[in-house]
Amino acid sequence: MTPVVVVLLLLCGFGGYSKTGFASPMPDESCDRECLRGFITQYLDAMVAHKPDSLPVADGVKFTEDCKEIKLGEGIWENFSGLTDYRRDILDEQEGTAVSFLVVEENDSPILFVMRLKIEDKNITEVETMAVRNREEGMLFNLDNLKTASETMITPADKSQRNSREEAVKIALTYPEGLRIGSFVKADSPMVPDAYRFENGQLMAGPGCTFFQGCDNMKTQRIPTLSEITHRVVAYDEELGVVVVRMNFGRGSTFQGDGVLDVWHSFKIYGGQIHAAEAYCEIVPAGMKSGWE
């Protein structure tokens, strides 16, 4: 192509330029909130229909369930029988990541299910999931508190109170640091006085908590020292003010036995403070990796 032809193409609006000769934006291939939410819905619909091949997945898509890499369509897909009303989405537009905490049905029985989808060029490139089927798998299991998503977690944070990604992540990570040293107070984790925490639907901290003495105050409650804890930031939903962190609590994190807790935690953060935390947890063998390190 000659230089003259190139110039004519640019002036005519090709190659990213408008007819005025000023730069114009190229077509937007990003995935906004509704796009990300749509991928979650599409994924769940495919599970209900038992049709993994209906999904727009990239070549070499990686799929894990309960820390194990398997083929998309295996695992919970095989006995998936339906959805319930409980669904809580966390949408990270900057990273193209969609996370959803759900209660679904397997063999017509309700179970806890959380998933992360990575979207690139309108294709699913990564699928990370966890399924908790009963108290034996999760140590805690209270579906009575998981009928619908809590208003605190799904209500958008006031724009004047929203924290930047860097600020929100820094605040969220004071939680695993508190567990590492055995004190949220010593970790100076910024929690509002009425902050609460649910784990597998069980109220474990905050006003009204009676699980153990002193649990009515999330920041000052007694917590174990989990020196082996590891963590990975999964997503930040700026609109909701929710940070998702996946953690392995390490030894000493279960009531009994040799297993450890693998945890998907979500933190409601705005105004520089943690207002709520909700998590799904599962017991896994000590030393097990998530598969996404």
pLDDT (tens digit per residue) in 150-171:
999 999 999 999 999 999 999 9
How large is the average pLDDT for residues 283-293?
A: 93
Whose CA is closest to 198, among 190, 185, 207?
207
- Other Cβ atoms less than 10 A from the Cβ of 64: the count is 18
How large is the average pLDDT for residues 231-241?
A: 98
Torsion of CA 243, 248, 253, 254, to 10 degrees: 100
Contact in structure between 101 and 84 (CB atoms under 8 Å): no
E strands in 4-79: 57-65, 68-69
E strands in the chain: 57-65, 68-69, 80-92, 97-106, 109-120, 123-132, 191-199, 202-205, 230-237, 242-248, 260-270, 273-284
pLDDT value of residue 258: 85
Confidence of residue 30 (pLDDT cuts 50, 70, 90): confident
pLDDT value of residue 29: 63
Per-residue burial over 40-61, b = 16 or more CB atoms within 10 Å of its CB, e = otherwise:
beebbebbeeeebeebebeeeb
- The CA distance from 131 to 252, in Å, is 22
Confidence of residue 10 (pLDDT cuts 50, 70, 90): very low
Under DSSP, is residue 277 helix (H, G, I), strand (E, B) or coil? strand
Domain 151-284 has CATH 1.25.40.10: no
Contact in structure between 18 and 10 (CB atoms under 8 Å): no
Q: Is 24's pLDDT higher than 90?
A: no
User: Where does CATH 3.10.450.50 sit in the chain?
Assistant: 33-133, 151-284
- Other Cβ atoms less than 10 A from the Cβ of 118: the count is 20
Identify the DSSP state of 52.
G
Q: What is the pLDDT of residues 92-147, one digit of tens each?
A: 999 999 999 999 999 999 999 999 999 999 999 999 999 999 999 999 999 999 99
pLDDT value of residue 173: 98
pTM score, whole prediction: 0.89
- Other Cβ atoms less than 10 A from the Cβ of 81: the count is 13
Q: Is 26's pLDDT higher than 50?
A: no
More confident residue, 24 or 62: 62
How large is the average pLDDT for residues 258-269?
A: 96
Q: Is 1's pLDDT higher than 70?
A: no
pLDDT value of residue 13: 37
Instruction: Name beta bridge partners: 111.
Output: 104
Q: Is 4's pLDDT higher than 90?
A: no
Fold of 33-133: Nuclear Transport Factor 2; Chain: A, (3.10.450)
Confidence of residue 255 (pLDDT cuts 50, 70, 90): confident
- The CA distance from 47 to 41, in Å, is 10
How large is the average pLDDT for residues 226-239?
A: 97
- The CA distance from 58 to 243, in Å, is 26
